[in-house]
Amino acid sequence: MLSVSRDGSVVILEMQDTAKRNTLTAAMIAGLYGVIRNVGDARAVVLRAAPECQVWSAGFDISALGPVVDPLVPGGPLMQLFHAVRDCPAPVIASVHGSCWGGGTDLALRCDLLVADPTCTLAFTPARIGLPYDTDGLRHVLARAGLGLAMEMFTTAQPIGAERAHRHGLIHHLIEPGALASFTLALAQQIAALAPLAVRSAKQQLRALASAAALPAAVQAQIDALRATALASADYTEGLAAFHARHVPVFEGR
| pLDDT at site 65 | 79
Integer Cα distance of 158 and 155 in angstroms: 8
Domain ranges of the chain: 2-178+186-192
| pLDDT at site 212 | 67
pLDDT in tens, the chain (254 residues): 899 999 999 999 999 999 999 999 999 999 999 999 999 999 999 999 999 999 999 999 988 877 777 888 888 999 999 999 999 999 999 999 999 999 999 999 999 999 999 999 999 999 998 988 988 889 989 989 999 999 999 999 999 999 999 999 999 999 998 999 999 999 999 999 999 998 999 998 888 888 766 667 777 787 778 778 887 888 878 777 877 888 888 887 77
Measured N-to-C along each axis, helices 135-145 and 147-156 cross at an angle, to the nearest 10 degrees, of 130
| pLDDT at site 11 | 98
SS (H, E, C) the chain: CEEEEEECCEEEEEECCHHHCCCECHHHHHHHHHHHCCCCCCCEEEEEECCCCCEEECCECHHHCCCCCCCCCCCCHHHHHHHHHHHCCCCEEEEECCEEECHHHHHHHHCCEEEECCCCEEECCHHHCCCCCCHHHHHHHHHHHCHHHHHHHHHHCCCEEHHHHHHCCCCCEECCCCCHHHHHHHHHHHHHCCCHHHHHHHHHHHHHHHCCCCCCHHHHHHHHHHHHHHHCCHHHHHHHHHHHHCCCCCCCCC
Query: Which residue, among 226, 27, 203, has the nearest Cα to 138 in the 3D structure?
Result: 226
Integer Cα distance of 202 and 204 in angstroms: 6
Measured N-to-C along each axis, helices 77-87 and 26-36 cross at an angle, to the nearest 10 degrees, of 20
User: What CATH code is assigned to 2-178+186-192?
Assistant: 3.90.226.10
| pLDDT at site 231 | 77
Half-sphere exposure of 61 (CA within 13 A, CB side): 15
Q: Which residues contact 85 (CB under 8 A, 6 or more apart)?
A: 36, 92, 107, 110, 111, 112
Task: Report phi then psi at 89, rounded to 5.
Answer: -65, -25
| pLDDT at site 37 | 96
Query: Which residue, among 150, 132, 147, has the nearest Cα to 225 in the 3D structure?
Result: 132
CA angle at 14 for the pair 10 and 17, rounded to the nearest 5° = 170
Q: What is the CA radius of gyration of the chain?
A: 18
Asked if residues 185 and 10 have their Cβ atoms less than 8 Å apart, the reply is yes
| pLDDT at site 214 | 66
Asked if residues 15 and 22 have their Cβ atoms less than 8 Å apart, the reply is yes
Half-sphere exposure of 48 (CA within 13 A, CB side): 22
